[in-house]
Amino acid sequence: MKKYRIGQIVPSSNVTMETEIPALFRSRETILPERFTFHSSRMRMKKVTKEELEAMDAMSLKCAQELSDAHVDVMGYACLVAIMSMGRGYHCVSEVNLHQETVANDFPTPIVTSAGALINGLKVLGAKKVAVITPYMRPLTDLVVDYIEHQGFEVVDSIALEIPDNLEVAAQDPMNLLEIYKRLDLTGVDVLVASACVQMPSLEAIDLIQKEIGIPVTSAAVCTTYEMMKKLGIEAKSAIGGELLSGKY
């Protein structure tokens, strides 16, 4: 039985990343032999504004050093909008910089950013046209839309719930998404991103929405989990999500 250490670089006010991602890994433990422990380092952030996100991102390198001290097997940067608000393609820059910190600390570690994981997840699902739900204010949501489109996808429609307080984002009932998504224009959409935010809970709703609309539904947390499992070289499966990112739940 192989045991893996999962490291997470987490905004100080994020309480969902350490809930949904472990839930997917724990669910996997019910069907496959590998086992996982979870280890976090935090960056200060309370309000989801561009200024706070930029200041928070500057702390990520220190977090990578701390997690590297624990010899984690993979690291996930748990804030999609922090990466996407820093400019187009910034997930590539961030992943290189964080990896270099682990190399300098003599324990090279694979890096996953939730932003990069979402982009990769959409590619795995073969998406061309997507719709997105975010908890962010509209200007930040527009940055996320632009970022996704710059990566080669068309965002047909998006919803910005406009919740600036990060703890309030975490307090959202994921089952509300069953009604929220109906406000989207899904004409021609290949994939629905039910939560483009690892702080806004969505896990319980993903399967139900997918059954209603008949197209793949995913989230930043699901994509991050998938990417972490791939970086570990293990099967990307979960008893919750089946074949992660297969569109089959």
* Active site (catalytic) residues: 79, 197
Show Cβ contacts of residue 71 under 8 Å, excluding neighbours closer than 6 positions: 5, 107
**According to the annotation, is 97 in a ligand binding site?**
no
d(CA 103, CA 196): 30
- Determine if residue 79 is labeled as part of a ligand binding site: yes
Residue 9 phi/psi, 5-degree rounding, is -95, 110
Question: Which residues does residue 3 pair with via DSSP β-bridges, in sequence order?
Answer: 35
DSSP state of 182: G
Does 81 count as an annotated binding residue?
Answer: yes
For residue 199, say whether it is annotated as part of any ligand binding site. Answer: yes
Please list the alpha-helical segments (H only) found in 10-108: 17-29, 50-57, 60-69, 80-84, 90-104
CA angle 62, 90, 186 (to 5 degrees): 125
Residue 93 marked in a binding site: no
Distance in angstroms (rounded) separating the CA atoms of residues 112 and 98: 9
Residue written as token pair 């490291």? 7
Q: Is 144 annotated as a binding residue?
A: no
* Binding-site residue set for substrate: 14, 79-81, 136, 166, 198-199
